Amino acid sequence: MDEKRDYYEVLGIGKDASIDEIKKAYRNLALQYHPDRNPGNKQAEEKFKEVTEAYEVLSDPEKRKIYDQYGHAGFGPQGFDWTQDFSRVRMDFSDIFGDIFNTFFSDSFGVDWFGERTTKRQWQIRGSDLEYRMYITLKEAATGTEKHINISRYDECPVCKGTGSKPQGIGKKTCPQCQGKGQVVKSNGFFTVATTCPKCKGEGEIIADPCLNCKGIGRIRNMHKILVKIPAGIEHGSSLRLKGQGDAGPYNGPKGDLYITVFIEKDKIFERIHSDIICEVPITVTQAVIGDEIEVPTLTGKVKVKVPPGTQTGTVLRLKNLGMPRVSGYGKGDLLIKIKVVIPERLSRQERQLYQQIKDIENTDNYPEIKKFRNSLS
């Protein structure tokens, strides 16, 4: 199987492209490779699918964030799902190309822009994607965790099974305004402009006897308790995609997705830099001068670390494999102990006498920084 090309490369845009630039690039390429302009050209058809897939991902802020972070792997082993993921592009079509272009391909060729011969809209509208913001601790991010969340979303109406009609009713009937075409056409000189029928919203049909439970929309809103599994090592601001956990689409349309954006609360002790953890540990002057064995915290407990003699403030002691797990599943980062030598604010009489004795006998040549500074003055 051929490796997928980078979506930004497919559209010929930079990674900092705005949504308007993405739409413009897609419009030009879609016009170039559209099947109606290239009848029987399989290569153009594949190009059209490729640019449309790239547009669907990059025009959606959440999907673009996932793609920027994980690439094609962010959409799972099955990759891009044309049966669901493509539906939103259909809804964007009029916004990108306009009604005149839509009319050109629909009325002149007798097909819609997906190559389906039709007089009314035949596709199902996908349900909306939902977003939930979750906050976890650094230690939960290190070990991974499971949390239940409550989500309000649209579900298929259990009474009418998503049809919007009464169970024993007539069902749908042809829209009287557009006569089932889903569009109303107006002529203005040389131009014929088609717009979506305002009565049936492009369906070509209307509900003759609406379901009393959902008022004819085929959906009702319910609360759901959903278990979310957070992988160990997750980064701050990462999004998890729960496929099919978003809103149900109108009239049996496919479900949207639920995106869980994970934020990691600031820790009192540790600072995170990707898979490494930094912890600043204070030690006394005497510990820094003659060395010592100190106890330091880790994400899973405490360990003892040897401080070598002559340790300076800012010295970093690296403890291998005691950092955050890598999301890829391969190993862990390191724990970086950053030493801070602190000065006592108050001294006992005996401590003062001892420090005075040290001062009387100490040799400043043993202090490289002091020696360097004095030499720069001469």
Q: Which of 85, 118, 151 is the last residue of a domain?
A: 118
Query: What CATH number is given to the structural domain containing 100?
Result: 1.10.287.110
How far is Cα 21 from Cα 17, in angstroms, rounded to an integer? 6
Pick the more confident residue, 367 or 11.
Answer: 11
User: Residue 95: is its pLDDT beyond 70?
Assistant: no
Domain end point (choices 262, 279, 304)? 262
Whether 97 and 148 share a structural domain: no
Residue 202: inside a domain: no
Q: Which of 230, 262, 294 is the last residue of a domain?
A: 262
The pairing of strands 335-341 and 316-319 is antiparallel
Q: Using CA atoms, how far apart are residues 213 and 223, in angstroms rounded to an integer?
A: 17
Same domain as 249, residue 275: no
How large is the angle between the packed helices 87-109 and 19-33, nearest 10 degrees? 40
pLDDT, mean of residues 24-42 = 83
CA 342/CA 288 separation, integer angstroms: 9
Same domain, 139 and 58: no
Task: Output 375 or 132, whichever has higher pLDDT.
Answer: 132
Same domain for 325 and 353, yes or no, is yes
Q: What value does the mean pLDDT of the chain take?
A: 81
Q: Residue 2 — very low, low, confident or very high, per pLDDT cuts 50/70/90? A: low
Residues 108, 64, single domain; the answer is yes
Residue 263: pLDDT over 50:
yes
Task: Round to whole Å and give the CA distance between 171 and 154.
Answer: 21
Residue 178 included in any domain: no
Q: Are residues 125 and 251 in the same domain?
A: yes
The span from the CA of 185 to the CA of 188, in Å, is 10
- Is residue 35 pLDDT above 80, yes or no? no
- Examine the domain organization and report whether 141 and 256 are in the same domain: yes
Query: Are 111 and 161 within one domain?
Result: no
72 and 16 housed in the same domain: yes
pLDDT digits (tens, 9 = 90+) for 276-322: 999 999 999 999 999 999 999 999 899 999 999 999 999 999 999 99
Same domain, 144 and 223: yes
Q: What is the total residue count of the chain?
A: 378
**199 is a domain residue:** no
Q: What percent of the chain has pLDDT over 70?
A: 84
Give the chain's domain count: 3
Where is average pLDDT lowest: 183-187, 241-245, 330-334, 372-376? 183-187
Task: Supply the pTM of this predicted model.
Answer: 0.58
193 located within any domain: no
Q: Residue 162 domain-assigned?
A: yes
Q: What is the per-residue pLDDT for 81?
A: 52
Domain that includes residue 232, residue range: 121-171+208-262
d(CA 4, CA 54): 10
Confidence label for 94 from pLDDT (cuts 50, 70 and 90): very low
Q: Which of 27-41, 86-100, 106-120, 331-345 has the highest mean predicted lDDT (pLDDT)?
A: 331-345
Q: Are residues 228 and 326 in the same domain?
A: no
Residue 86: what pLDDT? 47
Segment 146-166 shows an average pLDDT of 91
Whether 183 maps to a domain, the answer reads no
- Written in H, E and C, the secondary structure of the chain is CCCCCCHHHHHCCCCCCCHHHHHHHHHHHHHHHCCCCCCCCHHHHHHHHHHHHHHHHHCCHHHHHHHHHHHHHHHCCCCCCHHHHCHHHHHHHHHHHHHHHHHHHHHHHCECCCCCECCCCCCCCCCCCEEEEEEECHHHHHHCEEEEEEEEEEEECCCCCCCCECCCCCCEEECCCCCCCCEEEEEECCEEEEEECCCCCCCCEEECCECCCCCCCCEEEEEEEEEEEECCCCCCCCEEEECCCCCCECCCECCCCEEEEEEECCCCCEEEECCEEEEEEEECHHHHHHCEEEEEECCCCEEEEEECCCCCCCCEEEECCCCCECCCCCCECCEEEEEEECCCCCCCHHHHHHHHHHHHHCCHHHCHHHHHHHHHHC
CATH of the domain at 161: 2.60.260.20
State yes or no: pLDDT of 112 exceeds 70: no
Q: Are residues 53 and 164 in the same domain?
A: no
More confident residue, 56 or 73: 56
- Asked if residue 368 is part of any domain, the answer here is yes
How many Å apart are CA 197 and CA 334, to the nearest integer? 62
d(CA 38, CA 78): 29
180: in domain: no
